[in-house]
Amino acid sequence: EKKEEPTDFERIVINFLKKKEIKILEKKILGKKEFNFLVQVPSTLGDLSYFVKARHKKSFNEGDLLLAFTEGQNMKLPTIFVSSGDITKKANEYMTKNLKGMSFLRIR
């Protein structure tokens, strides 16, 4: 059985989450450039569960964010969108206004 080697993007995302002391509970590989994670984020109220959508793409629009947000809602979890790319100004405004509880984190 051939073990899948983690892609560079996957490694970068995992290291990024670890640096922020975010504990990964589950990982689902959707492709070389897209992953879903179930994580726990430490807070003053104790560990909080989040759905994380990680995508490697240059730019994201409202549709990309809405899809990720809906996935999180289906799991009854707030969503963190992690990417190496940017979100459009319009998408950022849309997220602030309509996607309550969603965060966007850019990996530099």
Within a domain: 81: yes
Within a domain: 2: no
CB 79 within 8 A of CB 52: yes
Within a domain: 3: no
pLDDT over threshold 60, residue 4: no
Within a domain: 92: yes
Domain that holds residue 89: 8-106
Within a domain: 48: yes
Within a domain: 88: yes
Greatest alpha-carbon pair distance for the chain in Å reads: 47
- Please give the model's pTM, rounded to 2 decimal places: 0.90
Percentage, residues of the chain above pLDDT 90: 89
Within a domain: 77: yes
Per-residue model confidence as pLDDT tens digits over 30-77: 988 999 999 999 999 999 999 999 999 999 999 999 999 999 999 999
- CATH assignment at residue 89: 3.40.1350.10
Strands 79-83 and 103-106: parallel
Bridge partners of residue 48, in order along the sequence = 41
Total number of domains constituting the chain = 1
pLDDT at residue number 73 = 96
Within a domain: 1: no
